[in-house]
Amino acid sequence: MIALLTGDIINSRGLKDQNLWIYPLKKLLGNWGQTPKQWEIFRGDSFQLEVPDPSESLLIALQIKALIKSLHNPDGNKRSSPIDVRMAIGIGTKTYDADRISESNGEAFVRSGEKFEQLKSEMITLAINSPWSEWNDEINLYLKLAGIQMDSWSISSGELMSEILSNPDRTQTQIGEILNINQNSVSKRYKAAHGEDILALEKLFRKKLSQLL
């Protein structure tokens, strides 16, 4: 089984400079493979990423979320990002392996696409679709509640969570040095972002999924 992440950038068409998000997102996606085989940006503001280990899929989605929320428009609001990201994670088999991820197919691709199409009407920005319906219901409730907080992350929260999610072993002092803030500021931002709850959710996701795979 694999995980297939399908997403799009919310409000991207309101930006004068699309490079605000394209370059950072390409750099981040590059950590998990090559384009267009493992990931691809298409139709202007949509993207897909294949995750060979489904247990890593939520952590990756959270890293993408934090990155997008950390971006700022030089001509706009300095506190909050002008864009957001909407993502669906599909878990299942891969039955056709093409040279481009957008042309590959299988259960994971179908599940991801189906859930992604539901996100707008459900008014949520992150959800999962797996073969286990009861597990889906439970995890999607957690993701919906977490999304209330993550959707309102400030730029500083996004920057902090990007560092924490990509380097979980770093201390608050080390993170503060990277962000040029003191340890007390790191602690305050972490609490404001509900970082502890987000990390606990990721661990719970990983634990429960390991029991099913």
Mean pLDDT of 22-45: 95
In the predicted model, is pLDDT for residue 95 greater than 80? yes
CA distance 212 to 83: 35
> So what's the pLDDT on residue 213?
83
Closest to 129 (Cα-Cα) out of 212, 5, 9, 42: 5
152-196: pLDDT as tens digits: 999 999 999 999 999 888 999 999 999 999 999 999 999 999 999
Is it the case that residue 75 has pLDDT exceeding 80? no
* DSSP-derived secondary structure for 104-169: -BSHHHHHHHHHHHHHHHHT-SEEEE-S-HHHHHHHHHHHHHHHHHHTT--HHHHHHHHHHHH-TT
Residue 150: pLDDT band (50, 70, 90) is very high
Chain centroid offset of residue 73 CA: 20
Q: Kindly state the tokens that stand for 58.
A: 């939520």
pTM score, whole prediction: 0.96
Omega prior to 36 cis, within 30 of 0 = yes
* Res 43: pLDDT: 85
The two three-digit tokens of residue 152, written as one number:
């309102």
* pLDDT tens by residue, 189-211: 999 999 999 999 999 999 999 99
Q: In whole angstroms, give the CA distance from residue 27 to residue 30.
A: 5
pLDDT on residue 169: 87
Round to whole Å and give the CA distance between 22 and 30. Answer: 12
pLDDT given for residue 148 in this prediction: 95
